[in-house]
Amino acid sequence: MQMRRDRAQAMVIRKDSILMVKHRLGGRTFYCLPGGGVEKDETYEQAALRELEEESCVKGKIVRKLSVQFKPDNKGEVHTYLIEISDEEVPKPGTDPELSKEEQTIIGVEWLTLDKIGEVDRAYLWASGLNRIDSFHKELLKMENKIYK
């Protein structure tokens, strides 16, 4: 039986860009928000701030919670927080302390606009509460509501 594993993640916005961590895992390359597992005796907020620092080498301050999602396998929750960092902070790729040097999956940290983020990665951002940030909500309302085949 798989253990429950809750996750906390940080959504950091600078103008019209989102701080994204680039991963390579199992032959796939993808972007996601800085985040990871919540440790024992740690709050979701503490986990989001810790993961932001581990994965992108910056310290932040929580503005507010954006969303709580349930994992598809029902084995945990994903809590997303809007976090601000100072303009002086320069993100750079961090490491996952649970992995050896050879097993590291983080290959970059980038500020990306929506048009530079793939459709699948973008879907995860919307689900994580991106549409609850005013500037991105306005952008969403401008999009065509068409069905793709």
Instruction: Tell me how far apart the alpha carbons of residues 146 and 149 are, in angstroms, rounded to a whole number.
Output: 10
pTM of structure: 0.90
DSSP state of 97: T
Dist. CA 142–CA 114, nearest whole Å: 13
- Rounded Cα distance between 105 and 32, Å, is 12
pLDDT tens series, the chain, 149 aa:
557 789 999 999 999 999 999 998 889 999 999 999 999 999 999 999 999 999 999 999 999 999 999 988 778 999 999 999 999 999 999 988 887 888 889 999 999 999 999 988 999 999 999 999 999 998 888 888 877 77
DSSP SS3 for 44: helix
Q: In terms of CATH architecture, what is 7-142?
A: Alpha-Beta Complex (3.90)
**Structural domain boundaries of the chain?**
7-142
Give the bridge partners for 11, in sequence order.
Answer: 82
